[in-house]
Every structure is written in structure tokens, then in C-alpha cells.
Amino acid sequence: MTLARRIIPCLDTDGARVVKGINFAGLRDAGDPVELAARYDAEGADELVVLDIAASRDRRPTFLETIRRVAAELAIPLTAGGGIRTLEDARAVVRAGADKVTVNTAAVERAELIAELAGEFGSQAVVLAIDAKRAGESWDVRVRGGRESAQRDAIYWAREGVALGAGEILITSVDRDGTQCGFDIDLTSAIARSVTVPVIASGGAKTPAHFVEVFTAGGADAALAASIFHERIQPIGALKEFLAREGIAVRLTR
């Protein structure tokens, strides 16, 4: 009886369609969120994340409708985020069917947002997403889709976020995102060692070996990826079978 390590596909959307960019730029269409969600549920995904990376005010109703349609397909947990700036934004996402919300830039700008969300929905529903970029011996927090520096240490911010009530940390390596050359193991393990909550690693995954590495050396509780799942470079079922053979506890559904 062991808590399974989780495999989490991420749907980056423009509100309505799934898109994918490299290093947070150069977006292109990668499919219909509802179709992808149903496929991942069937393949054995442990959770699903849906992000609104455009996060523009006028597209918001479209994104909420996307959450509703995705949630209706799923019998696994759904996390939604992107552009959540207020408690009211988070309520709309939860009402649409999300089990958890992720906050990123807005929490950097106003840390109390984390406490407000934890107070209303409980810590288990609050995921602090941190985009981090290596800066010498440490990692700098990046905001606005990775474009700007927040002038803040990622480890410090992760700890602070947990103290305020975040129930999970989603750590994305800006350096590795979209490169498919493996998770940033140093970054992941530094975060995992620093906080008392589960850590989701993101950015750079391609091969099954990358996942083994992030769960062992990286100490991650969950691993998130997007394009390798969308483009069927790495089927989730085969990935989990590989992890099981490597002695990593995963939920096998077949």
C-alpha cells in the first residue's frame, strides 16, 4: 500500500483549443480539449490540468465552458488555472467543475490570494504554480508566462506559498520547458526537499527514463507533461507500465 506517483497531462489552451509553444512562445494548435481529456482518462492519466494561457478577460467565458465540458468527461481530478487573479475568478473555475485551482503571477503580485483560496476551498484545492529559471546557484521566479523576472528566489517562494496555504507546488523549469531533454532534476529535488506538500514537476519530459529520474533523484510526487502526450510521442499506458517495471508505484488501470 503506497501512494502512487502521478502522471498528469496538461492542456494549455487559448480558452477553447489546446495549444503548444516552445519556451513559452510560438504557439500552435494541438487539438480539442474535450477529446484529449477523454483520451487521457481512458489511457490512465491520474489527473488532468487545463490552463488558459491567453487568460484574456473577454475569452474567460469560453475557458469556463471548456472546463465544464472537460469536467463532464472525467472521473479523475481536474485542475484549472491561468489568469486567476481573485477569489471570484477561482470560484467561477471551481463552479465550472475544477477540483483544484492553480495560481501563478497573481500570487506573486499578491501573496494573500493563496491564503484566501485555501480559506475558501481548503489547501488540497490550491496549487501554487512556479515558473523557475536558473540564475547561477539558485532559481529565479518568472512571471507572465515566463517572460519576466519576479526578482524572487524559487525555493523561498515555494516555502512561503506553503506557509500561506498552498497544498501542492507545480514547479516548471523555464529552461527545460518544450526542449524534451529531461526534467530539471536539481530544481525539482531542491523544491521537494524544501516543502512539506506534494510537488509536481514540469518542463522538459520526453522519455520514460526522464520520468524515472524525476521520481527517484528528483523526489517528485507527480510529473506533468503536454506535447509528448498530445502528439503520442509517449503513450501514458506504456509509460506507467515502464515505471512499474522500474519499481515506481503507479496506478495501473489495465
Q: Which residues bind other proteins (CB under 8 A)?
A: 1-6, 41, 46, 71-72, 75-77, 94, 97, 99, 119-125, 167-168, 196-198, 221-222, 251, 253
Which residue lies nearer to other proteins by CB, 21 or 198? 198
Nearer to other proteins, 75 or 136 (CB): 75
Instruction: Give the shortest CB-34-to-other proteins separation in angstroms.
Output: 14
* Minimum distance of other proteins from residue 21's CB (angstroms): 29
- Minimum gap (Å) between residue 158 Cβ and other proteins: 13
Residue closer to other proteins by CB (options 108, 162) is 162
Nearer to other proteins, 85 or 251 (CB): 251
- Grid cell, residue 66, equals 471548456
**In the complex with other proteins, which residue's Cβ is closer, 3 or 137?**
3
| Nearest approach, Cβ of residue 170 and other proteins (Å) | 12
Among candidate residues 147, 138, 137, 150, the one with its CA nearest the CA of residue 128: 150
- Closest separation in Å from C-beta 59 to other proteins: 23
Residue 109 carries which side chain, given as an amino acid letter? E
Nearer to other proteins, 166 or 205 (CB): 166
From the list 41, 46, 89, 131, the catalytic residue is 131
Q: Quick check: is 12 catalytic?
A: yes
Q: Are 177 and 166 in contact (CB under 8 A)?
A: no
CB of 40 to other proteins, least distance (A): 12
Grid coordinates representing 215 are 521520481
Q: How would you write the chain as a 3-class SS string?
A: CCCCCEEEEEEEECCCCEEEEECCEEEEEEECHHHHHHHHHHHCCCCEEEEECCCCHHHHHHHHHHHHHHHHHCCCCEEEECCCCCHHHHHHHHHCCCCEEEECHHHHHCCHHHHHHHHHHCHHHEEEEEEEEEECCEEEEEECCCCEEEEEEHHHHHHHHHHHCCCEEEEEECCCCCCCCCCCHHHHHHHHHHCCCCEEEECCCCCHHHHHHHHHCCCCCEEEECHHHHCCCCCHHHHHHHHHHCCCCCCCCC
Q: Are 148 and 142 in contact (CB under 8 A)?
A: yes
Q: Which residues are the active-site residues? A: 12, 131
